Amino acid sequence: MFTEYDILFITMDLQRIYKKASGLIPLTVEEGVELYMHAPVEELMYVANILRQLHNPGNITGWMIDRNVNITNVCFSQCSFCNFCRKKGSEDAYITSVENYIKKIDELFSLGGDQLLLQGGMNPELGLAFYIDLFRTLKKLYPTLKLHALGPPEVVFLAGKEGLSYCDVLKLLIEAGLDSLPGAGAEILSDRVRRIVSPAKATADEWLDVMKEAHKLNLPTSATMMYGHIETIQERVEHLIKLRDLQYQKPAESYGFITFIPWPFQDEGTALLKKQGIRSSYNGPDYIRIIAISRIILNNIKNIQASILTVGRDIGMLSLHSGANDLGSIMIEENVVSSAGATYRFNAQEMQSIIKEAGFVPGRRNQKYEFINPPSGI
Ligand code: SF4
């Protein structure tokens, strides 16, 4: 129970932190936790909105069209929150064929998109030569296609398998056609958490080291957080601060992290729920808090994207008033999160209507967050 004195002290301290954040001065972990635990959500939304305007003046909300294709569903990692992966030799194990890519890319282009989000699993039989060959083949067939592909855990895996540095793996993938690196596999950047939910995957430092190399090579990257399972509030805040601190280290002209996207753990049918009884702690108000705190802590990442595919229309709209300036992709195909219960789907028209209904101007963009035919919303 708080005394009146405690409440006065907390209020004064929150005002001090808001002022510091509004001046883009980096917050400490303690200050982030203080905000998370004690700040009223409407105050967080207010401060986050000011910062959103500072980073992205005007009224435009970004969205895009792309397609998620999984390269294979065989993955040695067997993360306990993942329903998508299969073990080698499973009846329904697959590696996507070139014919299948062609069908999917033709459909993507016919809908006006030009980017594939190519993701795992980490199939122990697929080495660097496979990915180089795949990227080259796709780029030869579709020279304008953009490949937003793999993620730090795959780079760590391929580097270990081939005896190469992260930098060498990334250089070879870029030469073969990689356009940008998703922030996949970040989950929570705490080894305590990772040892429980994804023990076979890259450690927190390995994830960050790959991103550091990608930034040195000026490869556009994104940052993510999959929260709402076994992590503490402090670990969520530390995750954000690790991303922010890495972004400070990027070369001045490098893209670095273009965006940050938090999404909640989807528990349906996962080993984490079945074996350990861990349910997703997701709720709408907490997502709004996370969006706002992300905007406040990540003082050097321009774009904050709300994951409308996992939180739905209403929370997506509210996120735009809480620091987010982007609703992501209509994602023509998605298999990993949807296999654990995320079921929201929107077409291009619905996405634009949602943005307008929230009071913003829809701005279709590419993966580098450059607007296509810029709308007039500034
Ligand atoms: S989340 Fe990714 S790395 Fe983990 S098991 Fe699933 S496919 Fe593999």
Model confidence pLDDT, tens digit, residues 216-227? 999 999 999 999
332 pocket-lining for ligand 1 (C-beta < 6 Å): no
Taking the CA atoms of 83, 87, 88 and 89 in sequence, report the sign of the dihedral they define: negative
Q: Which residue has the higher pLDDT, 120 or 205?
A: 205
Q: Say yes or no to pLDDT of 119 above 80.
A: yes
130 pocket-lining for ligand 1 (C-beta < 6 Å): no
Cα–Cα dist 85/76, whole Å: 8
Ligand 1 pocket: which of 70, 75, 80, 272 to mutate (most atoms within 8 A of CB): 75
DSSP for 250-289, please give it. Answer: S-TTS--EEEEEEEEPP-TT-HHHHHH-------HHHHHH
**Count of all residues that appear for the chain in the document:** 378
Using N-to-C axis directions, what is the helix angle for 233-249 and 29-38, rounded to 10°? 140
Q: Say yes or no to pLDDT of 70 above 90.
A: yes
Cα–Cα dist 46/51, whole Å: 9
For ligand 1, atom 1, which residue shows the shortest CA distance? 82
Query: What does the pLDDT look like over 99-112, one tens digit per residue?
Result: 999 999 999 999 88
**Cα separation values, 362 from 60, 232, 236, 358, Å:** 6, 35, 30, 10
Question: Quick one: tokens of 222?
Answer: 């994104």
Neighbouring C-beta atoms of residue 18, cutoff 10 Å: 18
Query: What does the pLDDT look like over 162-206, one tens digit per residue?
Result: 999 999 999 999 999 999 999 999 999 999 999 999 999 999 999
* pLDDT score, position 41: 97
* pLDDT score, position 120: 82
Question: 82 CA to middle of ligand 1, Å?
Answer: 6
CB 26 within 8 A of CB 269: no
Alpha helix stretches (DSSP H) within 142-267: 152-162, 166-176, 191-197, 204-216, 233-249
Neighbouring C-beta atoms of residue 48, cutoff 10 Å: 25
- Minimum-distance ligand 1 atom for the alpha carbon of 198: 4
Residue percentage of the chain with pLDDT more than 70? 96
At residue 364, the 3 state secondary structure works out as: strand
156 pocket-lining for ligand 1 (C-beta < 6 Å): no
CB proximity list for 256: less than 8 A, separation 6 or greater:
215, 221, 247, 250, 301
Q: What residue has token string 């070879």?
A: 172
* pLDDT score, position 377: 53
Q: Say yes or no to pLDDT of 339 above 80.
A: no
Question: 355 CA to middle of ligand 1, Å?
Answer: 31
- Minimum-distance ligand 1 atom for the alpha carbon of 73: 7
Query: What does the pLDDT look like over 242-264, one tens digit per residue?
Result: 999 999 999 999 999 999 999 99
> What average pLDDT does the segment 322-331 reach?
94
Q: Say yes or no to pLDDT of 356 above 90.
A: yes
How open is the CA angle 214-132-86, to the nearest 5 degrees?
Answer: 90
> What average pLDDT does the segment 306-321 reach?
96
Question: 83 CA to middle of ligand 1, Å?
Answer: 8
Q: 377 has which bridge partners? A: none
Best CA proximity match to 36, nearest among 269, 244, 294, 320: 294
Question: 158 CA to middle of ligand 1, Å?
Answer: 15
- Minimum-distance ligand 1 atom for the alpha carbon of 122: 8
Query: What does the pLDDT look like over 122-150, one tens digit per residue?
Result: 999 999 999 999 999 999 999 999 999 99
> What average pLDDT does the segment 265-293 reach?
96
Best CA proximity match to 169, nearest among 151, 142, 185: 151
3-state secondary structure 234-253: HHHHHHHHHHHHHHHHCCCC
Cα–Cα dist 228/265, whole Å: 5
Q: Say yes or no to pLDDT of 340 above 70.
A: no
Question: 323 CA to middle of ligand 1, Å?
Answer: 29
Question: 217 CA to middle of ligand 1, Å?
Answer: 26
Q: 147 has which bridge partners? A: 116
Question: 372 CA to middle of ligand 1, Å?
Answer: 33
Look up the pTM and report it: 0.95
For ligand 1, atom 7, which residue shows the shortest CA distance? 121
CB proximity list for 203: less than 8 A, separation 6 or greater:
191, 194
Confidence of residue 334 (pLDDT cuts 50, 70, 90): low
Q: Say yes or no to pLDDT of 374 above 90.
A: no
Cα–Cα dist 206/304, whole Å: 24
> What average pLDDT does the segment 32-38 reach?
97
Question: 86 CA to middle of ligand 1, Å?
Answer: 9
Burial class (CB in 10 A: 0-12, 13-18, 19+), 137: middle
CB 225 within 8 A of CB 25: no
Q: Which residue has the higher pLDDT, 295 or 84?
A: 295
* pLDDT score, position 342: 58
Cα–Cα dist 322/337, whole Å: 24
How open is the CA angle 223-225-230, to the nearest 5 degrees?
Answer: 155
* pLDDT score, position 9: 79
- Minimum-distance ligand 1 atom for the alpha carbon of 84: 6
Cα–Cα dist 341/338, whole Å: 5
84 pocket-lining for ligand 1 (C-beta < 6 Å): yes
> What average pLDDT does the segment 276-288 reach?
96
> What average pLDDT does the segment 307-318 reach?
96
Q: Say yes or no to pLDDT of 338 above 60.
A: no
120 pocket-lining for ligand 1 (C-beta < 6 Å): yes
355 pocket-lining for ligand 1 (C-beta < 6 Å): no
Confidence of residue 333 (pLDDT cuts 50, 70, 90): low
Question: Quick one: tokens of 306?
Answer: 């709300």
How open is the CA angle 85-90-96, to the nearest 5 degrees?
Answer: 65
* pLDDT score, position 320: 98
201 pocket-lining for ligand 1 (C-beta < 6 Å): yes
> What average pLDDT does the segment 272-299 reach?
97
85 pocket-lining for ligand 1 (C-beta < 6 Å): yes
